[in-house]
Structure 1
Amino acid sequence: MKNILQMTEPLTNKLLEIRKELHQHPEVSGEEYETTRRIKQWLTDAGCRILPINTQTGAVAEVSGNKEGPTVAFRADIDALPIPEQTGLPYSSKNENAFHGCGHDWHTTIALGAAMVLSQIRDQFAGHVRFIFQPAEETTQGAKALIDHGLFQDGKIQGIFGLHNQPSIPAGKVGITEHRLMAAVDTLHITIKGKSGHGAIPHQNIDAVVAGSAVVMGLQTAVSRNIDPFEPVVITIGSFHSGTAHNVIAGTAELWGTVRSFNPDVRKQLPELIQRISVDIAAGCGAEAKAEIIPQVPAIQNDAEMTSIVKKAAQSVMGKDSIVKPEPTMGGEDFSLYQEHVPGCYFWVGTGDPMKSIDKPWHDPAFLVNDELIPDTVRLVAEILLTSLKHFQTFTKGEVNHDANLL
């Protein structure tokens, strides 16, 4: 087989141009229209086949080998953040209120590079690789939309992989684990009903502000006094709206928050626990409360065999000492929704380099990615996908019709 290194080196300048173009023209979740158009054009130019999937933004493309075989997938997120950029780069965002402050432009470039490499050696592997360019990761709506529109409907994808840049890991290292990496995310909505009246006569009314404040404080004990201390859980109230005038006791309050956890069994306990605490504390203030948990995404659950494939590829491409154990985060990632359908592995590519100011966390207005790592990361992804095809080769039986629609 042709050396992947030989395939990647001539693409480096083109990929850097793509990354800069994507960075200059960021589009926020659900509005990635021009980004989608450009991605499809780059894929078409590379000889990749665009698969039909009826979402407004995002794309799925396939590179097929010269023989029938298994199908694996790689996902890259494509959306930007609704914040202004403060990097000072010569190719900074031209959209004032949008910025690729999480590196999704970098992820997209990596996926495009891997697709270009595989399209050049399609005569040397069996099977099919699908590249998923997912919109709306930041709002956790993109993966669900693609799944709802038939991403797994034909039943052909057997394994899926995804990555994220990680500035807290040194450049050239790869964070891979079968254990906890990113948490489940749920949205919390609490409504408080009291009785409105004059601020000078509180004894004749029921203050929703006081009741809501007590609920917020009470929820701080939900974790410390109800959950196993070895099970990480976060309950944060980020929005509290109540009242209309300074001298009127508020009759209602509305609270919004986020709930994070890892253990699926603990996650199941939290709605009843939060509801009980909210209702009982509000009742102690004479008010009524209702708490609702809105499920978003489960925790990342990496498959052991898929993780082993990623580790093997990382050692081959990045070096034997490249693998590090990543520190888990309570941040969430909707890649986990794909893992409910097929085995997968989500991992972090270290990009940190303080000497080049590449150490800002995700979503920081001055966040930077490490473009020097693009060639190696493209090779890593290509190697993962080729290795996974070989892994699944023995499980593939019979002919598969890859002309069928995803829908």
Structure 2
Amino acid sequence: MKRLVLAALLLTSCGKTPAPQESPLATITEKATALQPELISIRRDLHRHPELSGTERRTAGVVAERLTALGLEVRTGIGGHGVVGILRGGRPGPVVAYRADMDAVVGQEPPGREYGSTVPGVQHVCGHDLHTAIGIGVASILSSLREQMPGTAVFLFQPAEENIQGAQAMIRDGALVDPRPDVIYALHSFPFRVGTVAQGAVFAGLDQFTLELTGEHATSAVAQRLQARLSEFGTVAPLKQAEQVAPYLADIQKPGGPYSTAIYMNVKISPSDVPTRFLVRGTVKASSDSMYPQLRQSVKEAVERELGATGYQLSFRDAPFPSMSSDPQVTAGAAPTLAEAVGEGNVLTLHATHIYSGEDFALFLQQLPGTMFLLGVANPARGILGAPHFPDFDADEESILIGTKAMSSVLWQRLSQS
């Protein structure tokens, strides 16, 4: 026996890497359960006080106060109202980042909710209040385990996601520097059943064009004809009715389904400040970024066929905004821990792009390997559809416990890897 102990000591002293720590799932679950009422309270407070992109002062203050109380190193004013919290563990290890977005959108929340928005015309309709509460929850749990925790966890609370400006601003202000993360994770609300988490998320990129009609083409009839013609490039219709959501969720879980190579085209006629002009604006989203060059060419050719070579000006954004594509290797590395945390039967796998929304988490993924998980927040029995950007969006708050437990476990598992 003494020889075996001596051999183990020699292996350690010779620089052999110890086996990764197992996820302390029971401890994390216990702590997440104890935190649940507090996190629900935080979510409801943020929901009552939504702030638009670039104005997240109060939300950032709540986050900074909470992280400071947990003993994290806190930096504020990063990329606007962004907050960075750094948690250094008691043992050596990697640097792992976690991102949560904070902003709300323009909209009027349905009346009668106990925790409804108190800000006229502004509401949390995408779940960023949940994301922020869960981010605070994960920081709380890991900070309570800091002495045993290997490595460093960097928490990025991001402003201005809805106008896809916040991620780039945080990167520009050094959010990924000192320390430099090895990997990054994120979570987003989605209309899957509460209790489930989906892996392998891909959100579509974005292209836009503006067609300015002048001269003889500056008529309502021409604008409407072009609107109809360009709309034909779309292969999928927008989700507008609650009844469309369930079939859509089934489709994006099918390999080779209708969203594997889809195009969403939203073309609108906009008023011009000059009476002799008409503006036709288009938003284009595709399953793959590789599709945008050909789509631009198709739009140019269609306009030229309709109008000839003169009497209009067609312009595109400088470059398409990139898609948010989860790293398959990072996703696969987290899969066993995710299944342990929420139950193997509650882990869903996506096989197609979520084409109706973009995500500037894409810009973090251009800097670091990482992945985004989709958190089920729907509860049909309670009338909660859980579809982001639907006017009556709400979420089953049990999802806060699920998200906190799952992400704490995933981060711990990754931190425990040498």
Q: Does 1:122 align with 2:143?
A: no
Separation in 1 of the partners of 2:46 and 2:320? 28
CA deviations on 1:102-153 (whole Å, 9 max, x unpaired) are: 1111110000000010001011121111111111111111112112222234
Aligned partners of 2:56 and 2:159 also within 8 Å = yes
- Equivalent residue of 1:72, what SS? strand
Which letter does structure 2 place at the counterpart of 1:274?
Answer: V
Partner of 2:19 in structure 1?
none
Aligned partners of 1:87 and 1:368 also within 8 Å = no
Structure 2 counterparts to residues 21-170 of structure 1, below 5 A: 21-51=45-75, 54-86=78-110, 88-154=112-178, 156-167=180-191, 169-170=192-193
Separation in 1 of the partners of 2:320 and 2:155? 24
Which of 347, 352, 363 is the aligned partner of 2:389? 363
Which of 359, 368, 388 is the aligned partner of 1:342? 368
What is the root-mean-square deviation of aligned Cα atoms in Å?
2.4
Going from structure 1 to structure 2, the CA distance change for 1:221 and 1:353 (only over 3 Å counts) comes to closer
CA deviations on 1:261-286 (whole Å, 9 max, x unpaired) are: 122221233333323332442227x6
Which letter does structure 2 place at the counterpart of 1:365?
Answer: P
Partner of 1:171 in structure 2?
194
Partner of 2:31 in structure 1?
7
Which of 306, 312, 322 is the aligned partner of 1:281? 306
Q: Does 1:241 align with 2:264?
A: no
Separation in 1 of the partners of 2:32 and 2:152? 20
Separation in 1 of the partners of 2:147 and 2:79? 31
Going from structure 1 to structure 2, the CA distance change for 1:139 and 1:8 (only over 3 Å counts) comes to same
Partner of 1:257 in structure 2?
282
- Equivalent residue of 1:138, what SS? coil
Separation in 1 of the partners of 2:77 and 2:96? 17
Aligned partners of 2:269 and 2:278 also within 8 Å = no
Q: Which runs of 5+ in 1 are unaligned?
A: 195-204, 245-249, 394-407
Going from structure 1 to structure 2, the CA distance change for 1:155 and 1:340 (only over 3 Å counts) comes to farther
Separation in 2 of the partners of 1:12 and 1:77? 20
Q: Which runs of 5+ in 2 are unaligned?
A: 1-23, 236-257
Structure 1 length normalisation: TM-score?
Answer: 0.84
Separation in 2 of the partners of 1:230 and 1:350? 22
Aligned partners of 2:53 and 2:104 also within 8 Å = yes
Structure 2 counterparts to residues 378-389 of structure 1, below 5 A: 378-389=404-415
**Comparing 275-284 and 33-42, the one that deviates more:** 275-284
Identity %: 27
User: How far off is 1:238 after superposition?
Assistant: 2.8
CA deviations on 1:197-236 (whole Å, 9 max, x unpaired) are: xxxxxxxx55443443333233234467xxx996212221
Partner of 1:216 in structure 2?
227
Structure 2 length normalisation: TM-score?
Answer: 0.82
